[in-house]
Structure 1
Amino acid sequence: MKAHYKIFMIDQDKIFKIIIDLVTIIILYILLLSLLVGVANILLSIKSILFGTLGGGFGQIVSSVLTIFVLIDLFKTFVDFREHKEIRITYVTDATILIVLREIAAGVYIQRFDYPFVLGLSILLLTLGIIRALAVKYPPKP
């Protein structure tokens, strides 16, 4: 009788692994598409600056390039997760540092910084830098 019940038992770990694999594959394809669209957008921005067709500017290109770097780091994080089934703190901190740097670059070009905002970003960058350094110096044991 017990063998009969084993046929109908659902292996929850296997279902969870399949769903996680499907979600990460979908996210990887979305990130890949976003990278392609982002690069095309940068090329169109450069073309518009060279030929003077649209307003935009250098700040927009810098912000777009930094956004591409963020997407590349996220892509790296998901590929690493698919291969090793863990998320490395260094990839996450790298992506977060790039996001903060992108905000700084965008703010510099439109001159929208005030004192508390700059102080907050500075503290955030310092904290992320310390976390990144500690994660490299003391990697998790396998």
Structure 2
Amino acid sequence: MDSIKLFKQVTDAITTVILYILLLALIVGMAKTLLEIRFIIFESLESGFNNMVTSVLTVFIVIDLFKAFVDYHEHDRIKLTDITDATILIVLREIAVGLYSQKFGYEFILSLAALLLVLGIMRVLAVRYSPAAKSQSPAPLKEEGQTSKTGLTTLLDPVQTT
């Protein structure tokens, strides 16, 4: 058996197991979020809201990780934007938890905000200079009075004449 085929089969099996684990975590996280509605109703609004925000952001993190693993499972590549999105959500969750619990100092919150800024810049640059964006050229803008070409004529005649 070829070592590349063996590697592909092992990574497919591992990602399949991880996808099922993430799916289970997503279901449990959603159930936990729905059960935490009782904290808002029966306890103080502040602690219930804190628990709800934390749970919802955690579910979003699991969804983003799920999306990254599905993309890897289908295309055998990891998109930088998916990982950056998950990391941004983790930082946002930590900022929200720290703000609601008031256990972080302003220095830590500012450092997380700086990290968030760097991650945001990295995300924008990853989208702007994506290899997929280079392979797809934007459609030329049509000038006023021109009809848009569709189908095979667009491929055969990329330059529109007036």
Q: TM-score, normalised by structure 2?
A: 0.76
What corresponds to 2:34 in structure 1? 43
The correspondence of residues 117-128 of structure 1 with structure 2, limited to 5 A, is 117-128=108-119
What corresponds to 2:62 in structure 1? 71
Runs (5+) with no aligned partner, structure 2? 136-162
Describe the SS at the equivalent of 1:57: helix
Higher relative contact order (CA 8 A, sep 6+): 1
Task: Say whether the 8 Å CA contact 1:73–1:95 is kept in structure 2.
Answer: yes
What corresponds to 1:33 in structure 2? 24
Describe the SS at the equivalent of 2:130: coil
Does residue 58 of structure 1 match 2:49? yes
Runs (5+) with no aligned partner, structure 1? 1-9
Does residue 18 of structure 1 match 2:9? yes
Offset, 1:51: 3.5
Deviating 4+ runs (over 4 angstroms): none
What corresponds to 1:88 in structure 2? 79
What corresponds to 1:4 in structure 2? none
The correspondence of residues 127-142 of structure 1 with structure 2, limited to 5 A, is 127-141=118-132
Pair 45,105 (structure 1): closer, same or farther in 2 beyond 3 Å? same
Offset, 1:83: 1.1
Task: Say whether the 8 Å CA contact 1:45–1:56 is kept in structure 2.
Answer: no
What corresponds to 1:113 in structure 2? 104
State the percentage of identical aligned residues. Answer: 57
Distance 2:39 2:114 in 1: 37
Which is richer in helix? 1
- Once the two structures are superposed, residues 6-54 of structure 1 have per-residue CA deviations (whole angstroms, 9 ceiling, x without a partner) of xxxx3111111110000000000000000000010011110243234xx
Q: CA RMSD in A?
A: 1.8
